[in-house]
Structure 1
């Protein structure tokens, strides 16, 4: 006697699992403009590479003779797959099954997905939609008891932050534990109009006296501006594309170094317009993104966090094919002053670079910390000092190009001072403990008060100091390692990126990136 009946039951159960929440729920998902969970997996994974783990898990009911009468699949799917030929772990919430709530989940599946990524050194992809937390109040009645909150698998999520790249895509409403899983990632995004994220959704918030729509409470634009997620995109397809690009710069785990991608962009390529990119008038602003794009390999700039911490732009790029992390002052936002949010954004990029062995390139035009009541309200000095700590704790090679200003405590964040410095400056470099214009009259008060012609004396002192502040004077004393023509920047940084490979060491750091 063979096993035909059991194999038939297997096929029946597989068929039921693949029905997800059933035709009605799938139709509602499509009507909302969102892909179903299996369509998402197919869109992300290389064709034919997804191998599901726990396909038959779910909730069945049985008749008096032990026959299965109904089956509801678990609303969390995972398995191994490939993305652009690289092995990854793919996870996805199924909103068509109880809206992704915990009472239709098997928490062990989530834990095993995280463990698979850690133990087999594969990037982890989370496609999140739903709550994934404690379920509804009705769940408690069905259980017959309450419980002290804990999060199964949170320790695995913390561990993965220091071991493998983790990407979280919010592809629908995300609340509670779902929101926690979103931000426990190295890169996260939401989709405009389709995705919202909240600690608690509108019904719970309304019970507390605040009536909001989902979009008004936690739309993608809100969280892209406050830094809770890294980016927002216009469609699920764009989300999948950004996922692929982000992973392309990182190794599969901290045990490897980022792969070099040999391109066609010559290291010696020069853009002569860079020589005039910084205005002579120090009060004039200029765009930083064209400068970044002119320096890095063509088409390689991948900006992260465009809408928050606006005093800097951050992202990943390549120099002669080598992956690097880029931090660049943005003079068009408060002149490049560091706010608390700017400091947090820099810290996040430094931690990402240090975790995954990416050399850092820092383009500096930093007049210092923001001052005034807003700065004090935001605890700018605490967040700025924390960022300085992250810079000094990092061990990856670091190259600095000072485009214009580097002033005060924030200006000292241009590079760690406790190891070999790859620093170069453009002729427009201007640095010090504080700007000369701001401290001149206070420093020379007695001399100015004694002068017959105060204005003439002030002009004389200013002219003397202008000569002293020349970057060439600093270079004479080896206060800066090199002054270069701006058009030479790419060539110098490509040489840095190649040499930096000698100092990169695979392996885990003392601690992982904090969310």
Structure 2
């Protein structure tokens, strides 16, 4: 027995240590090993490894233990998570039959236990030597991603290459993290593109972290190094419930229901066309600026973030007047729609801060399908059953007002500042359109226009017009916004809304 124990311990040590030259190459690339990454992500000493001795079938060729992926479970701040970390030092982290089976087993365990699933991706792709079995392995992972969607949070972390079919699993998960300089995601690599089209492009230009963080929206978060990236994953998990049946982790009440924030009136200009940073407004509404922003660099004209108000986790969707005057466009609508659906899936209340002049006009937007993408946001809000609070900060024009969680599509509570203007369009544009003949025939068009604009504003755009018709529940002092939102969320905390019986809707994907 002593000899058996020694052999077992020696084998475990060899598996954990990995191949020295391969580990050295990994570190030379500025990357950590799979086990080092797990050490950064999980609470110290909490990791329970599964299938450490798993090997590929057959007798020929290299059959290293783990088959290029470390799988198991641990805790983050004491809360259970399931995690796999692909190991580029073992067969390039390539996915074969045994590799896929380990991930699939872990996914099944995460779903059965109702705990978040985290994947650390660093792989050369499908193991060509195993042919169709590698492709079958990917298919099984994708099917489980879809089964787990909306049931448990799924987080992908890209710490190296993630190419070909492998890229679809992160695309199916809720959040994707990427690290600059080392992470790449694409379906077809630079060599294939050059062979087919003659176009030359680098890995970073094709699918680097900044490309997916700014242009494609594939990356939810982008970080400069693995340490800050994995620390942010831990922070995100602290905001999320373990599954759709659990509430998100709450902090202690912060007395928000009686908290006045006079700085809010100073942050937001009264003039409807003057820009300001909506992040400053959010910072005044939430507990201790406790915010994690999703897709910060993509579609920056809308802000989506998780935060806490009076200890409760909420999802905030807000127009950003600092970027494109806060208009909605195709990308912003897609970004906000997916965030709304995520929050609704996991029972996270929604707070929508509105200051929107409309949808971005232009042939580029129309041809990019802004109608279809705008309908995604409309569909997401209409379908959401979580508590929903809307705050109209300044202006809300046209169809953009409707899709930003208006009462007409199901907001539970709508609050407005005294500066709010809710209308089909701005007064100037409305007068120019409705009275164009009278203006053209007038001796003094400027004077007539000024008179008509003043009349239109007084009749249809004053702060109480919508409140008088029940479309706004209250016109509040800006300083009372944090307190009013906190009281509204407390009032709606036990909201129960049934879902219409059907297989599923057919949203505008």
Scaled by the length of structure 1, the TM-score of the pair is 0.91
- Deviations, residues 281-309 of structure 1 (Å, cap 9, x unaligned): 32211111011011111131111110111
User: Partner residue of 1:211?
Assistant: 200
| Rounded Cα–Cα distance in structure 1 between residues aligned with 2:45 and 2:329 | 47
1:257-268, aligned counterparts within 5 Å? 257-262=247-252, 264=254, 266-268=256-258
Q: Does 1:237 align with 2:234?
A: no
| Rounded Cα–Cα distance in structure 1 between residues aligned with 2:504 and 2:88 | 34
- Deviations, residues 244-269 of structure 1 (Å, cap 9, x unaligned): 11111211011111132115564433
Q: Does 1:423 align with 2:414?
A: yes
Q: Which residue of 472, 478, 484 corresponds with 1:480?
A: 472
1:24-423, aligned counterparts within 5 Å? 24-59=21-56, 71-103=64-96, 105-133=98-126, 135-136=127-128, 139-140=130-131, 151-208=139-196, 209-225=198-214, 226-262=216-252, 264=254, 266-415=256-405, 417-419=408-410, 421-423=412-414
| Rounded Cα–Cα distance in structure 2 between residues aligned with 1:102 and 1:164 | 24
More off after superposition, 206-215 vs 165-174: 206-215
Contact 1:357/1:505, CA 8 A, preserved across alignment: no
More off after superposition, 279-288 vs 114-123: 279-288
| Rounded Cα–Cα distance in structure 2 between residues aligned with 1:221 and 1:147 | 29
The residue matched to 1:197 in structure 2 has which SS?
strand
Flag the 1:104–1:81 CA change in 2: closer, same or farther, 3 A.
same
| Rounded Cα–Cα distance in structure 2 between residues aligned with 1:17 and 1:447 | 84
> Shift of the alpha carbon at 1:480?
1.6
| Rounded Cα–Cα distance in structure 2 between residues aligned with 1:224 and 1:420 | 30
User: Partner residue of 1:437?
Assistant: 428
> Shift of the alpha carbon at 1:118?
0.5
User: Partner residue of 1:459?
Assistant: 450
Contact 1:50/1:82, CA 8 A, preserved across alignment: yes
The residue matched to 1:42 in structure 2 has which SS?
helix
The residue matched to 2:422 in structure 1 has which SS?
strand
Scaled by the length of structure 2, the TM-score of the pair is 0.92
More off after superposition, 223-232 vs 205-214: 205-214
> Shift of the alpha carbon at 1:139?
4.9
- Deviations, residues 468-509 of structure 1 (Å, cap 9, x unaligned): 2211233233332111111110001111222222116899x9
| Rounded Cα–Cα distance in structure 1 between residues aligned with 2:205 and 2:97 | 28
Contact 1:288/1:328, CA 8 A, preserved across alignment: yes
Contact 1:265/1:298, CA 8 A, preserved across alignment: no
User: Which stretches in structure 2 are left out of the alignment for 5+ residues?
Assistant: none
| Rounded Cα–Cα distance in structure 2 between residues aligned with 1:103 and 1:463 | 70
> Shift of the alpha carbon at 1:127?
0.6
The residue matched to 1:152 in structure 2 has which SS?
helix
Aligned residue pair count: 502
User: Partner residue of 1:500?
Assistant: 492
Considering Cα pairs closer than 8 Å and 6+ residues apart, tell me whether 1 or 2 has the greater RCO: 1
Root-mean-square deviation (CA, aligned residues, Å) is 2.8
> Shift of the alpha carbon at 1:17?
1.9
User: Which stretches in structure 1 are left out of the alignment for 5+ residues?
Assistant: none
The residue matched to 1:362 in structure 2 has which SS?
strand
The structure with the greater share of residues assigned to helix is 2
| Rounded Cα–Cα distance in structure 2 between residues aligned with 1:231 and 1:46 | 22
> Shift of the alpha carbon at 1:147?
8.0
- Deviations, residues 403-452 of structure 1 (Å, cap 9, x unaligned): 11211112101225254630011111111122221121221234334544
| Rounded Cα–Cα distance in structure 2 between residues aligned with 1:372 and 1:69 | 58
The residue matched to 1:153 in structure 2 has which SS?
helix
